[in-house]
Amino acid sequence: MTTETMTVTLEVFRYHPDTDSEPSYQSYEVPYREEWVVLDALNWLKDEVDGTLSYRWSCRMGVCGSCGMMVNGYPRLTCNAFLREFMPGPIRVEPLRGFPVERDMVTVLDDFMEKLTDVKPYIIREEEQSLDDGEYLQSPSQLADFKQFSMCINCTLCYAACPVYEHEDEFLGPAVLALAQRYNLDSRDQGNEQRQQLIWADEGIWDCTFVGECSAVCPKDVDPAAAIQQAKVEATNNFFISLLPFTPPGMGR
Amino acid sequence: MADDLQHDILIVGGGGAGLRAVIAAAEAHPDLDIAMVSKVYPMRSHTVSAEGGAAAVIKDNDSIEEHIHDTISGADWLADQDAVELFVNEAPREMIQLEHWGCPWSREEDGSVAVRPFGGMRIRRTWYAADKTGFHMLHALFQTSLKHTAVKRYDEWFATRLLVEDGRCQGVIAIEMRTGEVHAIRARSVIMCTGGGGRVFPFTTNAAIKTGDGMAMAYRAGVALKDMEFVQYHPTGLPGTGILITEAARGEGGILVNTEGRRYLEDYNLGEPVPIDDPRHPQLRTMELGPRDKLSQAFMKEQDAGRVFSGEYGTYTHLDVRHLGEQLIMERIPFVRELAKNYAGIDPVHEPIPVRPVVHYMMGGIHTNTDGETSLPGLFAAGECACVSINGANRLGSNSLTELLVFGKRAGLSAAEFAREHPDLDTDGLEAQRADEEASIAARFRTPRDGGERLATIRRELNATMEEGAGVYREESGIRATTEKVGELKERFENVGIDDHSKSFNTELTTAIELGFLLDVGEAVAHSALERTESRGSHQRTDYPDRDDDQFLKHSLAFRTDGAPRIEYADVTITNWPPAERTYGN
Ligand SMILES: Cc1cc2nc3c(=O)[nH]c(=O)nc-3n(C[C@H](O)[C@H](O)[C@H](O)COP(=O)(O)OP(=O)(O)OC[C@H]3O[C@@H](n4cnc5c(N)ncnc54)[C@H](O)[C@@H]3O)c2cc1C
Ligand code: SF4
Ligand code: FES
Nearest CA distance, A193 vs chain B (angstrom): 17
Separation CA B511–CA B364 (nearest Å): 23
Residue at which a domain ends, from A45, A77, A107: A107
Shared domain for A58 and A166, answered yes or no, is no
What residue numbers bound the domain in which A194 lies? 110-243
Q: Do A128 and B100 touch (CB under 8 A)?
A: yes
B139, amino acid identity: H
A253 lies in a domain?
A: no
CA A74 from centre of chain = 13
Give me the count of residues in chain B.
586
Nearest-CA residue for ligand 2 atom 3 is A218
CA of residue A37 to ligand 3 center, whole Å:
11
Q: Is the CB of A69 under 6 A from ligand 3?
A: no
Shared domain for A103 and A114, answered yes or no, is no
Residue B223, Cβ density class (10 Å: 0-12 exposed, 13-18 middle, ≥19 buried):
buried
- What is the predicted pLDDT for the residue at B301? 96
Could you tell me which of B128, B96, B55, B113 has the C-alpha nearest to residue A137?
B113
Shared domain for A114 and A237, answered yes or no, is yes
B165-190 residue pLDDT tens: 999 999 999 999 999 999 999 999 99
Nearest-CA residue for ligand 1 atom 21 is B47
A250 lies in a domain?
A: no
Chain B residues whose beta carbon lies within 8 Å of the beta carbon of residue A64: 40, 43-46, 48-49, 207
A178-195 residue pLDDT tens: 999 999 999 999 999 999
Instruction: Evaluate if residue A166 carries a pLDDT over 90.
Output: no
Instruction: Evaluate if residue A248 carries a pLDDT over 70.
Output: no
- Is B107 one of the annotated active-site residues of the chain? no
Number of domains in chain A: 2
Segment A52-69 shows an average pLDDT of: 97
Shared domain for A103 and A142, answered yes or no, is no
* DSSP for B543-568, written as a single string: TB-S--HHHHSEEEEEE--SSSPEEE
Ligand index nearest the alpha carbon of residue A64: 3
Shared domain for A87 and A136, answered yes or no, is no
Shared domain for A151 and A183, answered yes or no, is yes
Of ligand 3's atoms, which has the minimum distance to the CA of residue A67? 4
Site residues for ligand 1, CB cut-off 6 Å:
B 12-18, 37-40, 42, 45-47, 49-54, 133-134, 158-159, 193-196, 205-206, 209-210, 213-214, 244, 246, 360-361, 383-385, 397-401, 404
Q: At what angle do helices A192-200 and A224-243 cross, to 10 degrees?
A: 90
A48 lies in a domain?
A: yes
Q: Does B342 touch chain A (CB under 8 A)?
A: yes
Separation CA B8–CA A247 (nearest Å): 49
Q: Do A137 and B96 touch (CB under 8 A)?
A: no
Q: Do B136 and A150 touch (CB under 8 A)?
A: yes
- ipTM, interface predicted TM-score of the complex: 0.95
User: Cβ distance B408 to B87 under 8 Å?
Assistant: no
Active-site position among B20, B125, B250, B536: B250
In percent, the amount of chain B with pLDDT more than 90 equals: 97
What's the distance, Cα to Cα, between the start and end of chain B in Å?
63
Shared domain for A125 and A239, answered yes or no, is yes
Of B532 and A197, the structure prediction assigns the larger pLDDT to B532
Segment B78-89 shows an average pLDDT of: 98
- What is the predicted pLDDT for the residue at A1? 45
User: Cβ distance B63 to B26 under 8 Å?
Assistant: no
User: Cβ distance B15 to B209 under 8 Å?
Assistant: no
A33-52 residue pLDDT tens: 999 999 999 999 999 999 99
Q: Is the CB of A184 under 6 A from ligand 3?
A: no
Segment A202-222 shows an average pLDDT of: 90
- What is the predicted pLDDT for the residue at A251? 44
Q: Establish how many alpha carbons lie within 13 A of residue B469's alpha carbon, considering only the half-sphere containing its beta carbon.
A: 27
Q: Does B29 touch chain A (CB under 8 A)?
A: no
- What is the predicted pLDDT for the residue at A238? 73
Phi first, then psi, for residue B574 (nearest 5°) are -110, 125
Residue at which a domain ends, from A92, A107, A122: A107
What confidence tier does B3 reach under pLDDT thresholds 50, 70, 90? Answer: confident
Between positions 265 and 304 of B, the ones with CB within 8 A of A are: none
The angle subtended at Cα A34 by Cα A33 and Cα A39, nearest 5°, is 65
Q: Does A18 touch chain B (CB under 8 A)?
A: yes
- What is the predicted pLDDT for the residue at A239? 63
Segment B360-372 shows an average pLDDT of: 98
Shared domain for A117 and A98, answered yes or no, is no
User: Cβ distance B168 to B322 under 8 Å?
Assistant: no
Ligand index nearest the alpha carbon of residue B137: 1
> Is it true that the peptide bond before B282 is cis, omega within 30 degrees of 0?
yes
A252 lies in a domain?
A: no
A163 lies in a domain?
A: yes
CA of residue A20 to ligand 1 center, whole Å:
36
DSSP secondary structure code for residue B137 in this structure: H
What confidence tier does A92 reach under pLDDT thresholds 50, 70, 90? Answer: very high
Phi first, then psi, for residue B182 (nearest 5°) are -100, 120
Q: Which of A37, A38, A43, A66 to mutate to test the pocket of ligand 3 (most atoms within 8 A of CB)?
A: A66
Residue B555, Cβ density class (10 Å: 0-12 exposed, 13-18 middle, ≥19 buried):
buried
- What is the predicted pLDDT for the residue at A253? 34
A248 lies in a domain?
A: no
Of B66 and A204, the structure prediction assigns the larger pLDDT to B66
Chain B residues whose beta carbon lies within 8 Å of the beta carbon of residue A17: 504
Nearest-CA residue for ligand 2 atom 1 is A175
B217-257 residue pLDDT tens: 999 999 999 999 999 999 999 999 999 999 999 999 999 99
Could you tell me which of B214, B253, B294, B287 has the C-alpha nearest to residue B116?
B253
Q: Does B143 touch chain A (CB under 8 A)?
A: yes
Between positions 441 and 460 of B, the ones with CB within 8 A of A are: 454-456
Indicate the residue of B136, B208, B240 with minimum beta-carbon distance to A57: B208
User: Cβ distance B354 to B311 under 8 Å?
Assistant: yes
Average pLDDT, chain B: 96
Instruction: Evaluate if residue A246 carries a pLDDT over 80.
Output: no
Segment B124-128 shows an average pLDDT of: 97
User: Which chain A residue lies closest to B244 (C-alpha atoms)?
Assistant: A61
User: Which chain B residue lies closest to A147 (C-alpha atoms)?
Assistant: B104
What confidence tier does A228 reach under pLDDT thresholds 50, 70, 90? Answer: very high
Residue at which a domain ends, from A71, A92, A107: A107
Q: Does B113 touch chain A (CB under 8 A)?
A: yes
Q: Do A17 and B97 touch (CB under 8 A)?
A: no
What confidence tier does A252 reach under pLDDT thresholds 50, 70, 90? Answer: very low
Q: At what angle do helices B133-145 and B16-28 cross, to 10 degrees?
A: 30
A209 lies in a domain?
A: yes
A2 lies in a domain?
A: no
Q: Do B104 and A16 touch (CB under 8 A)?
A: no
What confidence tier does A241 reach under pLDDT thresholds 50, 70, 90? Answer: low
Q: Does B41 touch chain A (CB under 8 A)?
A: yes
B368-406 residue pLDDT tens: 999 999 999 999 999 999 999 999 999 999 999 999 999
Chain A residues whose beta carbon lies within 8 Å of the beta carbon of residue B101: 122-123
Q: Is the dihedral of CA A42, A46, A51, A56 positive or negative?
A: positive
Could you tell me which of B37, B137, B22, B100 has the C-alpha nearest to residue A63?
B137
Q: Do A47 and B132 touch (CB under 8 A)?
A: no
B44-61 residue pLDDT tens: 999 999 999 999 999 999
DSSP secondary structure code for residue B581 in this structure: -
Q: Is the CB of A152 under 6 A from ligand 2?
A: yes
Integer angstrom CA distances of residue B19 from A50, A63, B141:
35, 18, 6
Active-site position among B7, B161, B183, B234: B234
B272-300 residue pLDDT tens: 999 999 999 999 999 999 999 999 999 99
Shared domain for A31 and A147, answered yes or no, is no
The angle subtended at Cα A135 by Cα A129 and Cα A138, nearest 5°, is 105
Residue B109, Cβ density class (10 Å: 0-12 exposed, 13-18 middle, ≥19 buried):
exposed
Helices (H), B422-475: 427-445, 455-470
CATH code: domain of residue A193 = 1.10.1060.10
Instruction: Evaluate if residue B2 carries a pLDDT over 90.
Output: no
- Is B560 one of the annotated active-site residues of the chain? no
pTM: 0.96
CATH code: domain of residue A50 = 3.10.20.30
A140-151 residue pLDDT tens: 999 999 999 999
Q: Does A149 touch chain B (CB under 8 A)?
A: no
Shared domain for A96 and A141, answered yes or no, is no
Shared domain for A19 and A84, answered yes or no, is yes
- What is the predicted pLDDT for the residue at B452? 85
User: Which chain B residue lies closest to A187 (C-alpha atoms)?
Assistant: B102
Shared domain for A68 and A168, answered yes or no, is no
Q: Does B89 touch chain A (CB under 8 A)?
A: no
